[in-house]
């Protein structure tokens, strides 16, 4: 099989796709094209350990700490870094890069992930940060000086992690969220409110139910203005208000549905084109574990799971074989570290209509809490806070019944 596979996006999903193409028996050339100048690296530490790394490390120093191990099987894979793909022609099998060069392909893997959404509000831009890349991390790290006033906009997981790390670094931290208590969309209202009280007791201030209407200051941000007319001082603003899928490079094609990421079938085949699969955060696929609705899943476990299946599908499609038809039903899982709390989630808590506290006391989350999430009486998610890792296997196993039903 000498077909050439191009992988666009050189992060976790792109790397795993290359490795899994080899594991699936694809022996032809593979080219991985990435917009960032770095070889694939791990993002979760960017809001945690790496953000509080002492000294003044360069991006290269930090990269060395979080670069992914690459399997020996991808030693011959051509990584072309630092140049975004600006256009793809799926019928001709052609990619155009920013410098005008062209790469042709027989099979295509889309692994372009997400970028942070920015607030389009009046005011200076200096002092405003987002966090997705190593370079973002280096920039934000330098700004988080002890005693700095930090305003984090958005109380999702990344916002809360940044707030916790900034507090640890000695900053005064306020988190503003118009919609609800921290991580409420996933945790549900009462666990989220309990986590808010826990974080407040540690010293993080929350302003919930207010939005930002503008940034104050002339050359650099000195504060933010809220929709009730009040203001907050800020030397540093972190915008953690969600993400936008990187799909513009595919926009010239008729077939694909790019309405929210790349719409795929359950075998990760991109809609509307042949020999085209999508993996990682950018892929929107149905998971029969829950229902038929295609969704994007922004968890670290998903690039590895989707890459494995997508690579098998693409390898089969390229050689004219029938791909494995069995349902793809990965158990989503993620973790998050904030202050003295480690959250561990399995399944899709955000789908739930009912939340049950099974163990522990929400008022003392650090002592260990287990919460389960149900939709129409079916168990769809679990969140453990500070439970021993030895219990993960059992918590994950609870979903095996759903996997069996899905199959």
Partner 1 sequence: MKVTVDMSLCQDHGQCAIASPAVFQMNDEGKLVYEGEPDDSLRDEVEEAADVCPVQAIFIEG
Ligand X SMILES: Cc1cc2nc3c(=O)[nH]c(=O)nc-3n(C[C@H](O)[C@H](O)[C@H](O)COP(=O)(O)OP(=O)(O)OC[C@H]3O[C@@H](n4cnc5c(N)ncnc54)[C@H](O)[C@@H]3O)c2cc1C
Which positions lie near partner 1, rule CB under 8 A? 16, 19, 42, 44-45, 66, 68-69, 71, 300-301, 304, 335, 388-390, 392-393, 396
Binding region for ligand X (CB under 6 A) out of 43-51, 346-354, 381-389, 397-405: 43-51
Residue 293 in tokens: 């609705």
Nearest to 211 by CA among 169, 235, 180: 180
Q: What residues contact 291, with CB distance under 8 A and at least 6 apart?
A: none
Site residues (CB under 6 A) for ligand X, limited to 320-379: 334-336
Contact 361, 404 (CB under 8 A): no
Q: Smaller CB distance to ligand X: residue 225 or 248? A: 248
Nearest to 11 by CA among 52, 51, 57, 70: 70
Q: Which residue has the tokens 């390229």?
A: 318
Among positions 3, 7, 13, 264, the unique one binding ligand X when judged by CB under 6 A: 13
HSE, CB side, 13 Å, CA atoms: give it for residue 231: 12
Q: How far is the CB of 139 from ligand X (least distance, A)?
A: 13
Q: Which residue has the tokens 């099998």?
A: 93
Residue 142 in tokens: 């330098």
Q: Smaller CB distance to partner 1: residue 222 or 392? A: 392
Is residue 280 within the footprint of ligand X (CB under 6 A)?
A: yes
Is residue 35 within the footprint of ligand X (CB under 6 A)?
A: yes
Is residue 130 within the footprint of ligand X (CB under 6 A)?
A: no
Q: Helix, strand, coil % (nearest 5) of the chain? A: 30, 30, 40
Nearest to 288 by CA among 333, 328, 261: 328
Q: Smaller CB distance to ligand X: residue 171 or 226? A: 171
Q: How far is the CB of 108 from ligand X (least distance, A)?
A: 12
Q: What is the dihedral of CA 120, 126, 127, 133, to 10 degrees?
A: 80
Nearest to 16 by CA among 247, 274, 280: 280
Nearest to 347 by CA among 328, 333, 364, 357: 333
Is residue 113 within the footprint of ligand X (CB under 6 A)?
A: yes
Q: How far is the CB of 353 from ligand X (least distance, A)?
A: 24
Contact 14, 8 (CB under 8 A): yes
Q: Smaller CB distance to partner 1: residue 73 or 326? A: 73
Q: Smaller CB distance to ligand X: residue 53 or 225? A: 53
- Binding partner selected for residue 315 from partner 1, ligand X, none, CB under the kind-specific 5 to 8 Å limit: none
The beta-strand segments (E) located in 126-222 are 128-129, 149-153, 172-177, 205-208, 212-216
Nearest to 46 by CA among 140, 109, 186, 177: 140
Rounded alpha-carbon distances, angstroms, from residue 350 to 188, 241, 311: 8, 17, 28
Is residue 299 within the footprint of ligand X (CB under 6 A)?
A: yes
Site residues (CB under 6 A) for ligand X, limited to 74-103: 84-85
Among positions 131, 151, 152, 355, the unique one binding ligand X when judged by CB under 6 A: 131
- Binding partner selected for residue 249 from ligand X, partner 1, none, CB under the kind-specific 5 to 8 Å limit: ligand X
Rg over CA atoms, the chain: 22
Q: Smaller CB distance to ligand X: residue 222 or 335? A: 335
Strand order in the sheet with 262-263: 262-263, 283-286, 294-296
- Binding partner selected for residue 392 from partner 1, ligand X, none, CB under the kind-specific 5 to 8 Å limit: partner 1
Is residue 182 within the footprint of ligand X (CB under 6 A)?
A: no
Binding region for ligand X (CB under 6 A) out of 34-42, 212-220, 261-269, 375-383: 34-42
What is the distance between the alpha carbons of residues 140 and 151, in angstroms, rounded to a whole number?
12
Q: Smaller CB distance to partner 1: residue 113 or 270? A: 113
- Binding partner selected for residue 158 from partner 1, ligand X, none, CB under the kind-specific 5 to 8 Å limit: ligand X
Site residues (CB under 6 A) for ligand X, limited to 215-254: 246, 249
Binding region for ligand X (CB under 6 A) out of 182-190, 299-307, 356-364, 394-402: 299-307
- Binding partner selected for residue 286 from ligand X, partner 1, none, CB under the kind-specific 5 to 8 Å limit: none
Q: Smaller CB distance to partner 1: residue 68 or 327? A: 68
**Chain contacts with ligand X (rule: CB under 6 A):** 8-14, 33-36, 43-44, 46-47, 84-85, 111-114, 131-132, 158, 246, 249, 280-281, 298-300, 303, 334-336
């Amino acid at each position: 099989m000498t077909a050439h596979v191009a992988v666009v996006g050189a992060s976790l999903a792109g790397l795993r796709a290359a490795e899994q193409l080899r594991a699936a028996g694809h022996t032809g050339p593979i080219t991985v094209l990435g917009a960032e100048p770095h070889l694939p690296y791990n993002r979760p530490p960017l809001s945690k350990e790496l953000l509080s790394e002492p000294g003044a490390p360069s991006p290269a120093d930090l990269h060395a700490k979080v670069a992914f191990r690459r399997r020996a099987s991808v030693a011959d894979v051509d990584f072309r870094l630092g140049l975004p793909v600006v256009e793809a022609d799926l019928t001709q099998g052609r990619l155009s890069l920013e410098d005008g060069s062209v790469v042709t392909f027989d099979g295509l893997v889309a692994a372009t992930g997400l970028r942070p959404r920015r607030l389009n509000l009046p005011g200076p831009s200096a002092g405003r940060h987002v966090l997705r890349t190593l370079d973002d991390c280096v920039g934000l790290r330098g700004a988080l000086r002890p005693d700095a006033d930090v305003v984090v906009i958005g109380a999702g997981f990344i916002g809360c992690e940044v707030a916790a790390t900034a507090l640890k670094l000695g900053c005064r931290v306020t988190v503003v969220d118009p919609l609800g208590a921290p991580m409420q969309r996933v945790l549900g209202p009462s666990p989220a409110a309990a986590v808010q009280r826990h974080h407040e007791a540690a010293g993080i201030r929350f302003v919930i139910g207010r939005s930002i209407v503008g940034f104050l200051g002339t050359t650099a941000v000195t504060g933010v203005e809220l929709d009730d007319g009040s203001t907050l001082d800020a030397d540093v603003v972190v915008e953690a208000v969600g993400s936008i899928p990187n799909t513009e490079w595919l926009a010239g094609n008729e077939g694909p549905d790019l309405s929210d990421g790349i719409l795929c079938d359950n075998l990760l085949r991109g809609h509307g084109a042949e020999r085209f699969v999508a993996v990682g955060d950018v892929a929107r696929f149905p998971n029969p574990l829950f229902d038929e609705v295609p969704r994007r899943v922004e968890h670290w476990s998903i690039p590895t799971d989707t890459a494995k299946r997508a690579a098998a599908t693409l390898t089969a499609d390229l050689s004219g074989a029938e791909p494995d038809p069995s349902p793809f039903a990965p158990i989503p899982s993620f973790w998050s570290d904030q202050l003295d709390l480690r959250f561990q989630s399995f399944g899709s808590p955000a789908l739930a209509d009912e939340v049950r506290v099974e163990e522990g006391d929400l008022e003392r989350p650090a002592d260990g809490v287990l919460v389960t999430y149900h939709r129409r009486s079916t168990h769809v998610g679990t969140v453990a806070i500070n439970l021993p890792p030895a219990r993960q296997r059992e918590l994950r196993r609870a979903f095996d019944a759903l996997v069996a039903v899905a199959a």
